[in-house]
Amino acid sequence: MCGIAGFSGQQFDRSGLDRMVDAMLHRGPDDRGVAYFGSEGLGFRRLSIVDIAGGHQPMSGEDDRVVAVVNGEIYNYRALRQELSAKGHVFRSQSDAEVVPHLYEEGGIDALAQKLRGMFALAVLDRRTGTMHLMRDHFGIKPLYYMVCGQGLYFASDIRGLLASGQIVAEVNPTSFWHYLTFQYVPDPYTMFAGVFKLPPAHYLTWRGHHVELTRYWDLAFKPREDISQSDLQEAIYAVLEESVQRHRMSDVPLGAYLSSGIDSSAVAAFLRQHQTLDTFSIGFGEHHGEVDELAPARETARLLNTRHHEVRITAEEYRDNLEDIIAAQEDPVADPSAPALYFLAREARRHVTVVLSGEGADELFAGYPIYAEPAALRPFEYLPGGIRRALGRAAVNLPPQLKGRGYLMRGSQPLEERYVGNAKIFMENEKAELAPWVPESAREPYWAVTRPFFEAARDLDPIAQMQTLDGYTWLPGDILMKADKMSMAHSLELRVPFLDLAVFELAATIPARMKVGQGTTKLALRQAMAQILPAQVARRPKLGFPIPIRHWLKRELYDFARDLLVAENTPYYEPRAVQSLLNAPEHTMFNQDRKIWTLLVFALWHRRVAEPAAVVSGSERGHI
């Protein structure tokens, strides 16, 4: 695990690249490396995981004409190394990263796209052709940011690395802000900073002659098969997950696992426990306040698996007191209330291990979110004429928000591509206009500009597969994987996600809808397969997520904190009256309001802790708009 940085295309002060690298100390406290080649430079920070004695980067191939820096892990590196050695390539270390420059020498950027299996963000400088390539893994597990300033390309694993370059004019991108109010994160390729972009998952960037070209090298395509039997599917799922977890054990340092109450992390822990003693980690929050607590069922799972189990319980006060540091670690605001939970969990895990495995990605691949059951629930609307459906929707809008059944009528009256934008839809378009009138009309890109291309790509699939496709392209990299990476790396902890393996996805993509959701549960095929390794009560346990009592806290322990930040400080981004009305909403209506308040709160903290200091450093006079 590392942080990478670099530039290409124009002369750059050497101290600038040093600053970029040193700004990412948390991503790699064990080693650093910087190499300059005239108008190009590559930098590296290392968290030593594999080949602790070796593995120094940047790395070159047979000579220094092809040089690379790699963040992440290449899980099939041994097979690639054997293949390349047979072709005459000579390796100087045991590092998985060293296969990258040699593989590039053998077949160029397309060879990397076709053969690498793992989580990675990398840069390859081809000095023979004057080309810089950036590449991000298939699912977007590891982040990579870039910007073009003048005649130069700059990139880094963290936005703070780019900020340290001194090349950014730190201004908020109004289109990013507009989308953030809908999705609770900034969708690819934007970031909240104008001019700074995320390299999307499954893409590589080619920089040659002061020009950026993006190429998608892989598609996240679901291909359900109706001819697959339940027994064959169960055996295949078990085998492919067992193999993936085994690959993800690759480590020369202590390794553990997150353990929630759900089947995803429980399955990963069970496979790990077959091969080693295991430290597992769970989190809970203060008093329950009517929320379901994951600690008790996780503790029971740990007992059944015989792991060394560690628990963390966080109070509202600890949550509040650490929140600003947590938001700063995000770099780009992600208003998922569970992100701070991962921060505290990673902090505890790092006291015991350097690597953890987790269950991220299982919900998107195996249809684990409760919302995936909605198409079946709304099926009666399919038998109604379109005019009647629309009339019901118009009537529902005028009903009291808390009235039971209102949401069902509203959602049933809409086609899937209109009602579903992912696992979070925070503010409606009219609400955003009232809340943030400063955003110019030209920047008010509608939410469907983000989602429609993915629905169109999946238009021939069943509704569940369409929803999975959208989530795989948007929610997974934008929310789930972004918070997982940022919260773990804040503590120099490597987090691995064995569900997001190419072989696992290729199998999961074939599961038909009837084997995904049914019998009153989600992830049906996965649960049936994992019954071979998990106790029955664990395999059947419903999904809880991170049950964080945000709704309760925002009305009690965190109310003054939120009011002071959002109203008293009078941020120029929000209309104070609109914010105050959210804060004053009765608690029984907080089923939507709490997420709205939280989204505004996270942005305000991000702006105070990240954007405003960046604006001072960059000399921007318009850092807030």
Contact 177, 155 (CB under 8 A): no
Q: Is 149 a catalytic residue?
A: no
Query: What is the C-alpha separation between 37 and 287, in angstroms, rounded?
Result: 57
Q: Which residue has the tokens 């339940």?
A: 230
Backbone angles phi, psi at 264, to 5 degrees: -65, -60
Tokens of 402: 């808390």
DSSP structure class, residue 387: H
Q: Which residue has the tokens 């509704």?
A: 463
Number of helices (H), then strands (E), in the chain:
28, 17
SS3 percent helix, strand, coil of the chain, rounded to 5, is 45, 15, 40
Angle, nearest 10°, between helix axes 481-489 and 316-330? Answer: 100
Q: How many Cα neighbours within 13 Å face the side chain of 224?
A: 21
Which helix (H) or strand (E) element contains residue 7? strand 2-8
Closest CA relative to residue 186, chosen from 194, 196, 176, 197: 176
Q: Where are the beta strands (DSSP E) in 131-209?
A: 131-136, 145-149, 152-156, 197-198, 203-207
Residues 1, 2, 163, 241: which is the catalytic one? 2
Contact 158, 191 (CB under 8 A): no
Residues 6+ apart with CB under 8 A from 81: 91, 98, 99
Which helix (H) or strand (E) element contains residue 215? strand 212-216
Query: What is the C-alpha separation between 177 and 186, in angstroms, rounded?
Result: 7
The secondary structure of 216-247 as a DSSP string is E---------TT--HHHHHHHHHHHHHHHHHH
Closest CA relative to residue 495, chosen from 369, 360, 319: 360
DSSP structure class, residue 181: H
Residues 6+ apart with CB under 8 A from 373: 517, 522
Query: What is the C-alpha separation between 316 and 287, in angstroms, rounded?
Result: 9
Which helix (H) or strand (E) element contains residue 74? strand 66-74
Q: Which residue has the tokens 């590449």?
A: 135
Residues 6+ apart with CB under 8 A from 549: 285, 286, 287, 288, 289, 290, 291, 316
- Judge if the upstream peptide bond of residue 189 is cis by omega within 30 degrees of 0: yes
What pairing do the DSSP bridges indicate for beta strands 145-149 and 152-156? antiparallel
Closest CA relative to residue 425, chosen from 378, 493, 472, 371: 371
**What type of residue sits at position 464?**
I
Q: Write out the catalytic residue numbers.
A: 2
